[in-house]
Structure 1
C-alpha cells in the first residue's frame, strides 16, 4: 500500500522563537522548527502552533498502518532549526583540531569509563526495563516486547576511532528482537552491519524518507513516520505498544549527496498500561521538549543524550550538553532520566568522563531525586518500579 503525503506548508517569514544558535560562519538553510508537513496526514496533530493540528496536548494522532509505503518530499531541509556548517566553520574546525579530546584526557579517562555488563532483566509484560548497550543503543523491554534503539554493535563506525568501551550486551545474549527504532541515519545511529544480523521480518520504525534504505536491505515491515505520527505493534498477549515519532533538533546525512533526504527525531513508546519511555536520539536543546511533554504527559523514563557537545560554537544546535539534557528532562515532564550518547565513540572534544560528572552535578542542582537519574554503566540495567 502506498500513502501519498501532502506538500509542506510555507515557512514563517521571521526566525522561530527559541532558536539557540546563529553564526555568520554557517550557511543558513531554514528557520523552521518542530513542524510536520501540512496536508491530510497532519490533521489532528500538535505541530507547535505553526501549522495544522489541534494544538499542544491534544494527544496522539490516529495510528498509521504498519509497513505502509509512503511517498515523501525529496528533502527535509525545511525542518532544520539552525543552519548547517558552512565553509568557514569547517575551516575553523580543521584549523583548531576541535573535534577530539586531548591525548592526556583520553589516556586518563578511558580506563575509568563505567563498564559493567550483567544479565538482561526478564520483566513481565507489565514492567519496563532498560539496558544500556552503549552510545544510543538500548535494549528496552516494554509491553512484553524487546525493542532496540539505534542498534550499533560494531566495534568501529565510519569516520571515528574504535569504541572506547565494548558493547555492553553480547549479541548472542539478546532475546528475540521484536522491533527496532531508528532516530536518524548518521553512522553512529544507523549501523548496516548490525542490522544485517537481524531477521528481515523484524519490525523497523524509522524516520520519514529512510524506508527505502531499509527495504533495499531486505526488511519487509518498515514503518516510516513523520513528526507527531504514530503506529501500534501488537504484543504477544494481544495488547499493543504505541510508537510515536517526535521532533528533534538535528539533521541527516550518510553520503555527499543525501543531506537531509530523510528526517530525524525521537521516539515515545507507550505500553498498554500507559507507561511511557522517551528515546530522544540525537538532539540539541529547544522548546520542542515542552511540546513533547504536553502531547505525551506522564513520561516515566527519558533516554537523553549528554555527550558530543564540545566545542559549543559548532555543536550546540545538534547536541545537548549535560545541563541542557537535564533541562530537557524537566521540560518534557519526565520522572526519570537515563543519560546516553557518551563514553562510547570519540565524536567531539570534551574529555570522555566529563559528561557523566556534569550531568550528575546538574541533576543535583535541579533538586531532582538521585534515584531518578539512571546513570548506568555500559551494560547496566534498571527495572522501572
Structure 2
C-alpha cells in the first residue's frame, strides 16, 4: 500500500529530505552576502555581446532573474505533509505513456529525435548521436512508470552527452556508469566535470557558461544557454554547479532543449540571438502546487508561452508521465496541452510522441 506523505517523510529523515528537494528541483532559501564575481570558460566563444559571464555570489551561481523567491524548508515541508487536493483524481487517472521498442541505433540511418522519457532524448545529426539528461533508471524515492525503449548498455554508438543540470531526475549515476562511454564527450555546465568523471572515468568533459559555444569539430554547433532553475545534489553543494539549456544548430536548423526551467525572460533573449527555432523540447510537468513549483518548473500554459516566444515550429513536450513528481495527475499536462492546441493557442505544430517513437527531422 502506498505511504501517505506524512509516513513517507517520517521514514525518510533529514538527509532523505535533502535528496527529495533535489529530486523535485525545489530550492530552499539561503541568505548570502553580496560578494560576487563572474565566471565563464575562457577557452570557449561568447555569443552575447558584452556578456561577462555567470554571476557567482559567495561561490554560488544565480539566475538572470533574481526576483524569484525560493521556497523555505518550512514551506516545502508543510506541502509534503499536507493532503493533495487532486488525490482522488490522480488515483483514478488511467494515463500511461506508451513505449515503442527501438532497433539498434546503427540501423537508424536518418536524422531524428527520440524521446526516452522525462528529459532524456536521443538526437541523431549527420550520423552522430547525442543523449540529453540521462536518467534512464529512476531518481531516489521514485519508480519509473514507463518502460525504456532501449537498454542503457545498448545506447551505442553515442558521441555526446548533454547535461542541463544535476538534479536526480536529470542526472542518474547508474545511467552514466552503464553507458558505453569510451569516446563520448560530455557537454556540461560550469563546474560539473569532476562529478561526471567520478561517475564514468571514460568520459571526456567540457564545461560551458551561459551564452557560450562548445568546442566540437562537427557539422553542427552546440550552445549553452540560460534556464531559470537551480542546483543541488547533496546538502552542501547548493548552486555550486551551474544549470542551463542547450541549442543545437546545423545549417540553419535549430533544436532547443530547455532542461528544467521556470518561465522567465530568457526565452525571448534566445529568440533574439537565434531567430526561429525548428524543434522546441520543453518541460510541461511537475507544476502543482503552484505556490511551490512556479519558481522551478513550467506548466503547459507557461511552456506554450515560451514556445511562442521562441517562435518555434514544432513543440515536443517532456518532463511528464515518467516519474510522479508533483500533485497533478500524470495525464493532466497532456490534456491541458491538447486543450491549448484545440483553442489555437500554440503558434506551431504540437507533437506528442510515444516513448521510443522516432521523429525524423
Query: TM-score if structure 1 supplies the norm length?
Result: 0.76
Q: Distance in 2 between matches of 1:39 and 1:186?
A: 22
- TM-aligned CA deviation for residue 45 of structure 1: 3.7
1:40-119 equivalent positions in 2, closer than 5 A: 45-46=47-48, 52-53=50-51, 74-77=59-62, 81=66, 82-98=68-84, 102=87, 105-109=90-94, 112-119=95-102
Structure 1 residues 381 and 369: CA distance shift in structure 2, 3 A: farther
Counterpart for residue 354 of structure 1: 332
Could you list the per-position Cα deviations for residues 259-284 of structure 1 after superposition, in whole angstroms to 9, with x for gaps in the alignment?
0011111100112x221110000001
- TM-aligned CA deviation for residue 205 of structure 1: 0.5
1:178 aligns with 2:159: yes
1:152 aligns with 2:124: no
1:202 aligns with 2:184: yes
Q: Distance in 2 between matches of 1:314 and 1:72?
A: 24
Structure 1 residues 177 and 75: CA distance shift in structure 2, 3 A: same
Q: Distance in 1 between matches of 2:61 and 2:205?
A: 19
- TM-aligned CA deviation for residue 159 of structure 1: 2.9
What SS does the aligned partner of 1:290 have?
helix
Counterpart for residue 342 of structure 1: 320
What SS does the aligned partner of 2:161 have?
strand
Counterpart for residue 169 of structure 1: 150
Query: TM-score if structure 2 supplies the norm length?
Result: 0.80
RMSD over aligned CA atoms reads: 3.2
Question: Gapped runs of 5+ residues in structure 1?
Answer: 1-24, 55-60, 62-70
Structure 1 residues 179 and 232: CA distance shift in structure 2, 3 A: same
- TM-aligned CA deviation for residue 247 of structure 1: 0.5
1:166-315 equivalent positions in 2, closer than 5 A: 166-171=147-152, 173-198=154-179, 199-217=181-199, 218-235=201-218, 240-271=219-250, 273-315=251-293
Structure 1 residues 261 and 219: CA distance shift in structure 2, 3 A: farther
Question: Gapped runs of 5+ residues in structure 2?
Answer: 1-26
What SS does the aligned partner of 2:60 have?
coil
- Answer whether contact 1:307 1:321 (CA < 8 A) is retained: yes
Counterpart for residue 27 of structure 1: 29
- Answer whether contact 1:29 1:77 (CA < 8 A) is retained: no
- TM-aligned CA deviation for residue 335 of structure 1: 0.8
- TM-aligned CA deviation for residue 149 of structure 1: 0.5
- Answer whether contact 1:248 1:288 (CA < 8 A) is retained: yes
- TM-aligned CA deviation for residue 41 of structure 1: 7.4
Of residues 314-323 and 218-227 in structure 1, the stretch that sits farther from structure 2 once superposed is 218-227
Q: Distance in 2 between matches of 1:376 and 1:142?
A: 19
Structure 1 residues 177 and 103: CA distance shift in structure 2, 3 A: farther
- TM-aligned CA deviation for residue 189 of structure 1: 0.3
Q: Distance in 2 between matches of 1:379 and 1:202?
A: 22
- Answer whether contact 1:153 1:194 (CA < 8 A) is retained: yes
- Answer whether contact 1:72 1:208 (CA < 8 A) is retained: no
Q: Distance in 1 between matches of 2:38 and 2:258?
A: 17
Q: Distance in 2 between matches of 1:95 and 1:381?
A: 41
